[in-house]
Structure 1
Amino acid sequence: MDIKQALNLLKQNGYKYTGKREMMVQLFFEEGRYLTAKEVLDLMQKDYPGLSFDTVYRNLALFEQLGIVEGTEWNGERRYRIHCGGDSHHHHIICTECGRTRAIELCPMKAIFGQPENFEITGHKFEIYGICVECKEYEKNA
């Protein structure tokens, strides 16, 4: 998914195209990592000093509902990143220091469960948390 596709999703679903929404989408593309609502607010404050948490949260919820962003939780906080797009089934490894992610193509669910008897799996989520090489190197040199 690119910025244009993300903004078109808003229009196609009857939502207004605003400067705040465009900037929010651009932030996710520029940052390329999971962001908290507070980080989104902080990054947008310079251009929109009156922006509220409510507005950020409402738009993040809308973006998640439309599939523009995907959310996860770690350390008790909801975080968001631009949706991967694509049709291939995959999972992510996530750096808990910088929030960057990398897709992994294998699915641990298949190895664990196979196909359960009398049950159709319609979805699941599997994430692996750790520290990326860049963050580990930074910690070592700090």
Structure 2
Amino acid sequence: MSDVEILENKLKEKGYKLTNQRKAIIEVLFEQKGRFLTAEDIFIKTREKHADTNFSTVYRNLNILEDTGIIHLTKLNSDASVYELADTDSHHHHIICRGCGKTESIDFCPLEELNTKLNNKNFTLTDHKFELYGYCRECEKINKK
């Protein structure tokens, strides 16, 4: 089963169809896997695939894809929301470049110890995100100039 078929099934399980616009948005996210994109970036790239797409359609679909766990929403700074295709294969966290948006996965969970402590407090953690922000080598060089 392909990645797109897995996502199609996930949408169907939640009662959604794989419309042409959703398919185009998912294709854009697959093509940009490993990078966070703004809604505007996704809109521009989606229009290249499906010219009839408008921004409100992209934005509504991003909300649906986030609600179904297909994408992650992250805030790079106080006013920039960015999206990334969720990795369904493994639990992971990110380091994120504030300059270019490049992301890399962290292959360990720094919150495992915290979860143990929370269990001792009669609290069950159901979800979390751990993101570290900074600059990749290329963007760091640009910022120092």
TM bin, normalised by shorter chain, reads: 0.7 to 0.9
> How far 1:136 moved relative to its partner?
4.0
Q: Secondary structure at the match of 2:25?
A: helix
Cα deviations by residue, 1:23-78 (Å, 9 ceiling, x for unpaired)? 11011111121111111111122343442221111100110111111111122121
Gaps of 5+ in 2: none
Q: Secondary structure at the match of 2:111?
A: helix
Q: Which moved more, 1:29-38 or 1:106-115?
A: 106-115
Q: Which moved more, 1:108-117 or 1:21-30?
A: 108-117
After superposition, the Cα gap between the structure-2 partners of 1:62 and 1:29, relative to the gap in structure 1 and judged at 3 Å, is same
C-alpha distance in structure 2 between counterparts of 1:8 and 1:59, whole Å: 16
Q: Does 1:74 align with 2:108?
A: no
Match of 1:128 in 2: 132
Instruction: Count residues in correspondence.
Output: 139
C-alpha distance in structure 2 between counterparts of 1:23 and 1:36, whole Å: 15
C-alpha distance in structure 2 between counterparts of 1:134 and 1:26, whole Å: 27
Match of 1:29 in 2: 30
C-alpha distance in structure 1 between counterparts of 2:139 and 2:5, whole Å: 31
After superposition, the Cα gap between the structure-2 partners of 1:113 and 1:3, relative to the gap in structure 1 and judged at 3 Å, is closer
> How far 1:105 moved relative to its partner?
2.8
**Preserved CA contact (<8 Å) 2:95 2:131:** yes
Letter in 1 for 2:81: R
Match of 2:96 in 1: 94
C-alpha distance in structure 2 between counterparts of 1:113 and 1:3, whole Å: 33
Scaled by the length of structure 2, the TM-score of the pair is 0.79
Scaled by the length of structure 1, the TM-score of the pair is 0.80
Paired-residue identity, % = 35
After superposition, the Cα gap between the structure-2 partners of 1:30 and 1:134, relative to the gap in structure 1 and judged at 3 Å, is farther
C-alpha distance in structure 1 between counterparts of 2:41 and 2:112, whole Å: 35
After superposition, the Cα gap between the structure-2 partners of 1:133 and 1:5, relative to the gap in structure 1 and judged at 3 Å, is farther
